[in-house]
Structure 1
Amino acid sequence: MGRVDPEQRRTATERLRQLADSGQLTARHVRLVATGCGVSERTVWWWIDPHAPRADGRARSGYRLTDIDRAAYAFYRGNATAVHRARSSVIGGTAPSAGVPIPDSLAQGWQNARPVSVHTLRRAFADQLTPAEVALWRSGENARRNADVYLTRPPSVRNQVWEADHKQLPILVMPPRGAPVRPWMTTVLDDATRALVGWAITLTPHAGTVLTAIRMGLVHDAERGPFGAVPAMVRIDRGLEFASAAVSEALKALGVDVHRLPAYTPHRKGKVERFHRTLEQMLLTTLPGFTGGPRDAAGRLHGPVDDRPAARAAAETADVRPMGIDVLVERVRDWVRWYNTAHEHAALGGRSPARAWEADPTPLARIDPERLRHLLLAGAERTVVKDGIHFANLTYLAPELQGRGGERVQVRHMPHDNRSIEVYARGEHLCTAYPQAHLTPEQVEDFRAAARAEAKRLRAAQRRSTRHSRAELAPMTGAAPAAESRLVPAADGDELARRRSDQALAAKSSTSLLGLVDPTLHPVVEESENP
């Protein structure tokens, strides 16, 4: 026998009570209503007067829960049978119940209660408690939220509202060093078109990761699609990475309203939460190392990758290891490109996010990427070597690096984008460097021209320095400029002193083996002061 429609039951009950009040109610009326509603006559009599006592003194079905009954339901964690056992023990004077003491507050509240059957009490809890109450006392707050009903936001236009969130991906990957880990993904999703405008995958999320994902959403890049503009508002959760001063100041400096959502309200950014589930269902479940897959009786994942602690600790030397984080990034990049440009979204009328974006005529506010360098993820310091800057297994080069060999510089980059890096020297932006293996002919010529110009500049500086040095050192050594020695004759006294000095040196240079000077070979010339 199925459950009676509540509206039909209320209508039938109201009619029967009208007949009872006027003294016209008969058993035939009850029989007709029972047949029409598909219930027993006894049930129909209960509809008319649910509180009428039975011959055995027990209350009829339709029992109304008291505050004590509700408190007991919470105390016994949603176990209606345990509530009935404790209640019957107090009423019958046989407490404690099943060897378990009954709280005094419950025992005092049930002192004068009427007995009910366990079936009646279960039915009362099922009928008079909402699914949210039942879930709360049985499973907790998260289960209660599953029974909540939420408001739906009105439709927005493209790039007006972003939703940003972190998600620890359910997949094991190998980091550059160490044991396998589950990486984190930072996601920025457009509310109106469901387009993934920015993302980043790292081992641990931080403010730099958030800034990088936001910058990706701000910069227009034709290779990623038509996306890239300044939004009006960004919804973020209360994670410390999103709440950092660097993130808040960077967004507010662009005139973007930052809406920080209350804690534990994932439904208020439901689109990005749904995207994470789509990513897991479509991509991650097909990759090795997915931790949400089926397991055997010992808890081991079905497949080549074992995520148990002992296996993870030995993964570096094992024959079968999870994929590297760089491989995961490549897979996610390809999938995101497909999702944005080809995935037919039901909420978009069967269009892809890119098509929905292009069909929206709302004006976009774009900013020159060079003005957004401060939003890049800061990398480690590097030393400029002979062939440029070594970073992420590539060698980057730029004309501005000429003459800076051996200098320590700071590198900023976009994760998952090795097409260029930004180089800073002493806190100031120096240049944009590109992989040497992928330089265009124009970039190669620019680099060579810069090398020639730098060499020319240094040679000119060297010549200037030489001229200045000669002018400064000549007076210190007593030597006159060559031009003056040709125009001004030497004094007579100076000439006599020079000749005497030459004769003395000649005499010293011609000696015997005993070191004696032979005066016959080098006679000393006596000269008078007044020839």
Structure 2
Amino acid sequence: MRRWMDNADTHNGTYTPQGRRHFTLTPAMHEALARWNGNAAATYRELVADGIFGSPPRVSQATFYRAVDRELTPGQRAALRGGEAARRRHDVHALRPHGNRNDVWETDHVEASVFVNVDGRRCKPWITWFIDHATAIICGLAITPHQPSQDAILAAARDAILCTDHHRPSGGIPRKIRTDRGRDFLGKCVDEAFKKFGTELIVLPPYSPHLKGTVEAINGAAKHMLFKGLPGYAHTPRSRRDRRGQPLWALDELLDYETFVTVVLDWVDWWNNDHTIARLYRRTPAQAWHADLTPIDTLDPGDLHTYTLTDGGPPRKITSKGVRWKSAYYVGEWMHGHSSAGEMVRLRHEPHHYHRVELYDADTLTYRGPAFRSDEMSPRQARELRNARRREADRYAAKAHRARKNATPRYAATSVAAAPEPLNRLTASQAAAQLRELQTPEGHLQAEARPDLLNRPQPASTRWTKPLSAPKPQDTE
């Protein structure tokens, strides 16, 4: 009885039976296991070869395996094998309190796992959306056929905040928005827009998708519930008859971009109005949104459009050719009768949208109207320019690949211990010819020169008057 009471005292008042004696790992064994990246078999062979277990070994391989499983958690074993990213898969995270609607939104980009036909080219579109954390409703989104930037974020924000016309009934101004450390979300234009809304932008630490689990869950739902059923799915399993290196889907089998956008919008409506979620007590996101009576703060569409534009710099004058900006003139119908009067306007535009700008009075900031680039190129010129840029990029990519291949030394294969023997050796004349080709042209050297690091030369013309030199001090001794 006394032994039982002493055992309970040493285990915080709970009697804990003494287990059987078992083998334990020493610090040297832990170091060997880490050196072999969690490979228990290789670690055991090394310890036996070093005589750690004696000769013959007193610890069997099965005993060593049981000790590793007993002393290391699954997360620790995964960290030894795959690093920090593998260890994080075994972490346990607490659930956030749901709160009320528009308390916190979450936003993210997701790449569609579907190839789409965009002007005769196969591309994977990207989706940017804003999700209400409390109700898991998709408030707004924007789709781009390429990797999104700040203009996609602002377009999705406008779609999420507005609740009238063709926009969804869910929206308003959120109090907080959680986002990752993506470069686009940290841009100056996005930060200034949310500050004007009075919304706090919460930038989460890196490698922490669990801190915005609602939008990550919808990203996964879109990949499994939408993209897998569409033609052009990028991860479709291949058969033996499929030619390696060839696209699995022909270009005419892919959805065009407009059809893809329609399909995504239909799926968003289904998610909001028909899909039930367990944590919402088997209600749809729309039902949970309407059941919450928290007041919604809104903005006038005109003010919202102004807040989500980038300032174009100092005020500009309306001339007979329009308003000049970025080496181009912008004109609008409302400008007739206002040129040559010295009227000053402020220019604002969407990021990366240079075909249209919005003009405001320089003093009162009253909206004057839109203006469009007067010398816009034709669709044929745009197509020819795009093809020329692609050919130029392919040519330089081939040059870079050839240069890397030539710069990589090659050595002869050996089956015995020997010094490496280089293979790509040239003759003296070949080496001299390549040196002449690789030398930088004189024009490039002049462009890269820094004349401010050297003394300026004296003028060679005799017509220039040279400055008088300072008189030398006289010797008074």
Q: TM-score range by the shorter chain?
A: 0.5 to 0.7
Q: Which runs of structure 2 are paired with 1:432-447 in the superposition (5 Å)?
A: none
Change (3 A) 1:113 1:130: farther
Please tell me whether residue 349 in structure 1 is matched to residue 281 in structure 2.
Answer: yes
Please tell me whether residue 333 in structure 1 is matched to residue 265 in structure 2.
Answer: yes
1:370: which partner in 2? 302
CA distance in 2, matches of 1:206, 1:148: 32
> Which residue among 42, 54, 57 is the counterpart of 1:82?
42
CA distance in 1, matches of 2:290, 2:108: 25
Q: Quick check: which has more Rg, 1 or 2?
A: 1
Q: Which runs of structure 2 are paired with 1:412-491 in the superposition (5 Å)?
A: 424-425=358-359, 429-431=367-369
Aligned residues: 323
> Which residue among 266, 269, 275 is the counterpart of 2:209?
266
Preserved contact between residue 411 and residue 422 of structure 1 (Cα < 8 Å): no
CA distance in 1, matches of 2:335, 2:273: 38
CA deviation profile, 1:328-377 (whole Å, cap 9, x unmatched): 11100111112112222222112111111111011111111110113558
1:187: which partner in 2? 129
Preserved contact between residue 422 and residue 431 of structure 1 (Cα < 8 Å): no
CA deviation profile, 1:384-404 (whole Å, cap 9, x unmatched): xxxxxxxxxxxxxx9959999
Alignment partner of 2:48: what SS? helix
CA deviation profile, 1:211-230 (whole Å, cap 9, x unmatched): 11112111113544321211
CA distance in 2, matches of 1:86, 1:377: 64
Please tell me whether residue 117 in structure 1 is matched to residue 60 in structure 2.
Answer: yes
1:311: which partner in 2? 247
> Which residue among 174, 178, 194 is the counterpart of 2:117?
174
1:156: which partner in 2? 99
Q: Which runs of structure 2 are paired with 1:29-428 in the superposition (5 Å)?
A: 50=21, 62-91=22-51, 115-176=58-119, 179-202=121-144, 203-221=146-164, 223-297=166-240, 310-311=246-247, 320-374=252-306, 424-425=358-359
CA distance in 2, matches of 1:377, 1:170: 31
CA distance in 2, matches of 1:279, 1:286: 10
Change (3 A) 1:64 1:91: same
Preserved contact between residue 359 and residue 369 of structure 2 (Cα < 8 Å): no
Q: CA RMSD for the aligned pairs?
A: 3.6
| CA drift at 1:67 | 1.9
Alignment partner of 2:116: what SS? coil
CA distance in 1, matches of 2:281, 2:180: 29
Alignment partner of 2:122: what SS? coil
CA distance in 2, matches of 1:154, 1:172: 38
TM-score (norm 2): 0.60
CA distance in 2, matches of 1:64, 1:121: 8
CA distance in 2, matches of 1:431, 1:350: 48
Change (3 A) 1:184 1:319: closer
CA distance in 1, matches of 2:255, 2:335: 36
Identity of aligned residues (%): 33
CA distance in 2, matches of 1:260, 1:294: 37
CA distance in 1, matches of 2:270, 2:350: 24
Gaps of 5+ in 1: 1-13, 19-43, 51-61, 93-109, 301-305, 379-397, 405-409, 415-420, 434-531
Preserved contact between residue 193 and residue 353 of structure 1 (Cα < 8 Å): yes
Greater helix content: 1
The one-letter code matched in structure 2 to 1:209 is: A
CA distance in 1, matches of 2:56, 2:151: 63
1:515: which partner in 2? none
Alignment partner of 2:85: what SS? helix
TM-score (norm 1): 0.55
CA deviation profile, 1:285-334 (whole Å, cap 9, x unmatched): 11001113322257x5xxxxx9x76438xx8xx66342122221110011
